Every structure is written in structure tokens, then in C-alpha cells.
């Protein structure tokens, strides 16, 4: 299997699109994915969804603006 790398910007764009598509349900869907993949022993997939969940929280709390440039400290 070939793996690919997503940048932080890619992840935030994905989280932003996910939030726009699913609204308030986006975090719930991401949380369910984390739990499901952990239960299946799919740690890498669970980690991906956990990162997406964190970014969805940042978007919902207005800590980041998905349309603005990203600064990582």
C-alpha cells in the first residue's frame, strides 16, 4: 500500500469542508470514526480522524479561520 502525506493546510481544508458539509454533526461523525477505527485496531486511521476532530473543534470555537493563512506555533 502506498501512503501519502497531508500538510497541515490540507488537513484544515479537509476539516473546513467537512464542517461545512455536515455542520454541527461533523464532530460527532469524526468522534464515531475515531472510536470505530480504534475498536478495529486501525490506529493510523483512528489518529487521522482524531486530528480531524481536533481541527473541527478549533473551527467550531473560532480559534482558527479556515480561509486565513495557518500559523503553527
Residues comprising the chain, all counted: 73
Percentage above 70 pLDDT, the chain? 90
Domain residue spans in the chain? 8-60
Stretches in the chain below the pLDDT threshold 70: 1-3, 71-73
Q: Which residues contact 1 (CB under 8 A, 6 or more apart)?
A: none
pLDDT at 33: 98
pLDDT at 68: 77
Question: Which candidate, 72, 56, 46, places its Cα nearest to that of 18?
Answer: 56
pLDDT at 52: 96
Amino acid at each position: 500500500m502506498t501512503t501519502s502525506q497531508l500538510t497541515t493546510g490540507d488537513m484544515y481544508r479537509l476539516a473546513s469542508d467537512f464542517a461545512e458539509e455536515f455542520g454541527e454533526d461533523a464532530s460527532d461523525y469524526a468522534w464515531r470514526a475515531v472510536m470505530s477505527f480504534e475498536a478495529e485496531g486501525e490506529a493510523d486511521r483512528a489518529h487521522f480522524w482524531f486530528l480531524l476532530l481536533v481541527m473541527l473543534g478549533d473551527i467550531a470555537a473560532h480559534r482558527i479561520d479556515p480561509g486565513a493563512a495557518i500559523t503553527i506555533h
